[in-house]
């Protein structure tokens, strides 16, 4: 049976710069990309945000932050149309500003 050492046998032939670039390339593959939303999804998000702001309901907002999707829980208290941002009052009563174009999903929480 032939025992192959995989990538180990090639490491001696590679320059350290190449190894570094290959590692950064592998890390980039693991990062998520922001999704582009269509008009129908944007309309649904708009309706949910308006309803949550009107009824002071708690929501969970999924949004794109740097290279991953994060979630935040709280109440939507205002919207800034000039900056295209929602103001959310989170569980610790801290104001959080979220850019509208980064929002992927808004889920209502039944209390």
CB 48 within 8 A of CB 60: no
Q: Which residues touch 31 (CB under 8 Å, ≥6 apart)?
A: 67, 68
Structure tokens at 64: 């794109």
Q: What is the pLDDT of residue 82?
A: 92
Q: Is pLDDT at 106 greater than 70 in this prediction? A: yes
Q: Is pLDDT at 55 greater than 60 in this prediction? A: yes
Q: What is the pLDDT of residue 5?
A: 63
Reported as a pLDDT band with limits 50, 70 and 90, residue 109 is: confident
Query: Which residue, chain included where needed, has tokens 């209502």?
Result: 108
Q: Phi and psi of 90, rounded to 5°?
A: -80, -175
CB 42 within 8 A of CB 96: no
Domains of the chain in start order, with CATH, are 39-108 (2.30.30.520)
Q: Would you say the C-alpha torsion 40, 41, 45, 46 has a positive or negative sign?
A: negative
| 19-28, 60-69, 73-82, 99-108: least confident range | 19-28
Cα–Cα distance measured from residue 26 to residue 29, given in angstroms and rounded to the nearest whole number: 5
């Amino acid at each position: 049976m032939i025992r192959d050492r995989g990538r180990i046998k090639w490491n001696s032939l590679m320059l350290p710069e190449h190894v570094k670039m290959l590692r950064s390339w592998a890390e980039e593959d693991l990062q998520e990309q922001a999704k582009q939303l269509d008009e129908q999804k944007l309309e649904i998000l708009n309706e949910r945000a308006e309803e949550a702001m009107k009824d002071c309901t708690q929501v969970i907002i999924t949004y794109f932050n740097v290279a991953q999707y994060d979630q935040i829980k709280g109440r939507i208290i205002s919207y800034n149309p000039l900056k295209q941002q929602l103001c959310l009052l989170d569980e610790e009563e801290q104001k959080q500003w979220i850019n509208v174009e980064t929002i992927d999903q808004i889920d209502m929480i039944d209390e």
